[in-house]
Amino acid sequence: MSNRVALVRRERSPGSPSAMSTAGQPASQSAADHGELTQPAEQDRTLQAAEAAGPVVAVTGAARGVGYALTSRLAASADVSRVVAIDDHRGDVSGVTWRIVDVRDPALAGRLAGVDVVVHTDVDFSPDTDARSRRAFNVRGAQTVLTAAAAGGVGRVVLVTSAMVYGASPDNPVPLPEEFPLSADSDDSVVGDLLEIEHLALRSPRAHLGLDVTVVRPAALVGEDIDTLVTRHFEAPRLLAVKGCAARWQFCHVDDLVSALELAAAGRVTGAFAVGCDGWLEQEEVEEQAGMRRIELPPRLTFATAQRLHRAGITPAPVTDLRYVVYPWVVDCATLKNAGWRPQYGNAEVLEVLLGQRAGRHAVAGRRLGRKDAAITAAGATVAVIGTAEIVRQVRRRRRSPS
């Protein structure tokens, strides 16, 4: 409920001070004595107008990425009365109120005056950010947003995490129901950050009475300025696969995430829910559309070598992140569909967008390669970074052969 609607309803309450005159008479009677009769029908029209105007929505991270896309959409939305754009620098979205502040700064509470809903999109998903710095930014930012919202009288906070919090496993049902346990590993990865944010969301209503928290979990996100381990997977010379389990691919276009966030901001969907394309693509379909071949390795070799390479600083992603490109984590998006929402994009369309964005980029195991590195042959680059599997086999064969 917006602050303005709440004020109108309090004024209509028979026991409220504004409903009584100083002489103890009903406000309508006192007004009539002074020639200012306020009819109930007029009060109803005032209430309806306030409700029709929609809430005042603040968006963090509004100058870039998902926050920029959402701010632009809400600025033109009939479901929102006003948009407050929050970031550490001003963006180029017009028709909104810009308030410049770091989301980790306690002064954020003062920037939320008059705000009914906060949508927090200012989260760092980059594989290249130092893990400790990223964790401090992501978790501290979410903590500050929740605390500042409660202090500022905001009614609802919408947090953006990822469907990755469910974990990726060969045993996952396809698709995962939204109530499926959050089974991801709580480590120093981006997913570990998101699990911490999920725990804050779970605890916050108990710590801040009256504050509603909605959590939105997109599938593998694709769009302008989206740079994740999953998007970099398609910049590799080959697609990694592990023997014995085929990945299922589900994507989420930024535009579809933004439309879901718009519904959450308006209060049309609440709780914790997932967003993504309908269904999924099989590994063979992805390979055919991408025009890429797979390199298939045994799970033990793949994960053990990836862990060693990460510890040595050669690859940015821990071994747990590698699971999200070889094991399924498809979600069913039941809450949104029950609310009448449908994705604008299909998985094949989003994959085509992703493939179009990889031009000129080369990455292996999440690590971006320079132009010189990109000259390495496809098989050579993949083997070198994923596990040097063929080299290991050759060495073993030479050792076993008679000298």
Q: Which tops the pLDDT comparison, 89 or 24?
A: 89
Distance of CA 401 to the CA centre of its chain: 54
Before 175, cis peptide (omega within 30)? yes
Phi and psi at residue 85, to the nearest 5°:
-95, 125
Band of the pLDDT at 314, cuts 50, 70, 90?
A: low
CA separation for the pair 142, 90 (Å, rounded): 20
pLDDT at residue 386 greater than cutoff 60: no
Of the chain, the percentage scoring pLDDT greater than 90 comes to 58
CA separation for the pair 34, 25 (Å, rounded): 13
Residue 94: which residues within 8 A CB-CB, separation 6 or more?
Answer: 75
Can you give the pLDDT at residue 329?
A: 98
Can you give the pLDDT at residue 9?
A: 38
State mean pLDDT over 305-327: 75
Rounded to the nearest integer, the mean pLDDT of the chain is 81
At 263-312, the pLDDT tens digits run: 999 999 999 999 999 999 999 999 999 998 888 888 887 777 777 766 76
Domains along the chain with CATH numbers: 3-48 (no CATH), 55-394 (3.40.50.720)
pLDDT at residue 107 greater than cutoff 70: yes
Q: Which residues, listed in sequence order, are joined to residue 56 by a DSSP beta bridge?
A: 82
Instruction: Give the sign of the dihedral formed by CA 163, CA 167, CA 171, CA 177.
Output: negative
Give the angle 213-217-219 at the CA atoms, nearest 5°.
170
